[in-house]
């Protein structure tokens, strides 16, 4: 379990992640998980903290838009996540066997890759995609979620490829998180020990401060242009990613 000081640090980090996400549309796990590992948590512990906090926030968010979202339509995506998650955890075990530094480098690489794709890839929105794209996106999300706790990128790109309004876009991402969080935490507990669940509980207790970060991010988004926010978020994510990749050379 985290001591009180470390919990305060973790709460501050997830608040920063919520701030970036609410201002730019993405970033909670991608900002928080690398910084939590830098603060001293093992990667499975960092993932448990962030997933639990984000799931509480997502579940509360779904209540406010439940009339605009149909969960049953995205169950194939969730099923893809359930298949990909255990495989991602197996890959994580392999990484951790090579030392925590290798795991941090993997996290840094994922952050840089997603940030670059997010800045350059703009899929043309369609009303409907081929039925296979959903399970494929879910599998990719589950694989990355189990591996480094950042299953969002494939799901974000899948959502961007649809002509969905903002409520349905957010609802889809929140619902996928709520669907897969129990699977991730269960597989993590089986693989890394039940102590992971204590970190998840402490992460859930961070949920109230996520609200502060969310409100601050929304306030910033009203003052800055989206282009300005995206530049700042991109620079921050590249800094976080490079620290994961090259931090062992600097410290």
Q: What is the pLDDT of residue 85?
A: 94
Mark the ranges of the chain whose per-residue pLDDT is less than 50. Answer: 250-251
pLDDT tens-digit map of 199-243:
999 888 887 887 777 777 767 666 766 566 567 667 777 877 777
What does the H/E/C string look like for the chain? CCCHHHHHHHHHHHHHHHHHHHHHCCCHHHHHHHHHHHHCCCHHHHHHHHHHHHHHHHHHHHHHHHHHCCHHHHHHHHHHHHHHHHHHHHHHHHHHHCCHHHHHHHHHHHHHHHHHHHHHCCCCCECCCCCCHHHHHHHHHHHHHHHHCCCHHHHHHHHHCECCCHHHHHHHHHHHHHHHHHHHHHHHHHHHCCHHHHHHHHHHCCHHHHHHHHHHHHHHHHHCCHHHHHHHHHHHHHHHHHHHHHHHHHC
Q: What is the pLDDT of residue 250?
A: 46
Q: What is the pLDDT of residue 20?
A: 76
Q: What is the pLDDT of residue 61?
A: 75
Q: What is the pLDDT of residue 54?
A: 85
Which residue reads 């350059």 in tokens? 120
Q: What is the pLDDT of residue 19?
A: 81
Q: What is the pLDDT of residue 227?
A: 66
Q: What is the pLDDT of residue 194?
A: 92
Q: What is the pLDDT of residue 198?
A: 92
Q: What is the pLDDT of residue 241?
A: 74
First to last CA, the chain: 26
- The pTM score is 0.81
Which residue reads 């900002």 in tokens? 31
């Amino acid at each position: 379990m985290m001591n009180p000081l470390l919990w305060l640090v973790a709460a501050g980090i997830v608040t920063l992640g919520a701030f970036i996400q609410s201002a730019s549309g993405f970033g909670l796990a991608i900002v928080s998980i690398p910084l939590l590992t830098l603060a001293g948590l093992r990667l499975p512990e960092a993932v448990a903290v962030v997933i639990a906090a984000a799931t509480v926030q997502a579940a509360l968010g779904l209540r406010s838009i439940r009339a605009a979202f149909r969960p049953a339509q995205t169950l194939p995506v969730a099923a893809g996540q359930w298949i990909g998650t255990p495989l991602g955890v197996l890959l994580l075990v392999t990484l951790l066997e090579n030392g925590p530094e290798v795991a941090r480098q993997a996290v840094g690489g994922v952050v840089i890759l997603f940030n670059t794709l997010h800045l350059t890839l703009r899929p043309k929105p369609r009303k409907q995609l081929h039925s296979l794209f959903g399970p494929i996106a879910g599998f990719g999300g589950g694989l990355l979620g189990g591996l480094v706790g950042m299953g969002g990128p494939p799901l974000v790109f899948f959502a961007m490829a649809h002509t969905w309004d903002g409520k349905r876009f957010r609802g889809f991402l929140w619902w996928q998180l709520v669907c897969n969080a129990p699977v991730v935490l269960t597989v993590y507990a089986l693989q890394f020990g039940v102590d992971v669940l204590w970190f998840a509980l402490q992460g859930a207790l961070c949920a109230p401060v996520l609200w502060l970060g969310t409100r601050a991010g929304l306030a910033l988004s009203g003052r800055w242009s989206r282009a300005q926010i995206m530049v700042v978020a991109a620079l921050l994510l590249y800094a976080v990613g490079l620290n994961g990749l090259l931090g062992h050379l600097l410290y």
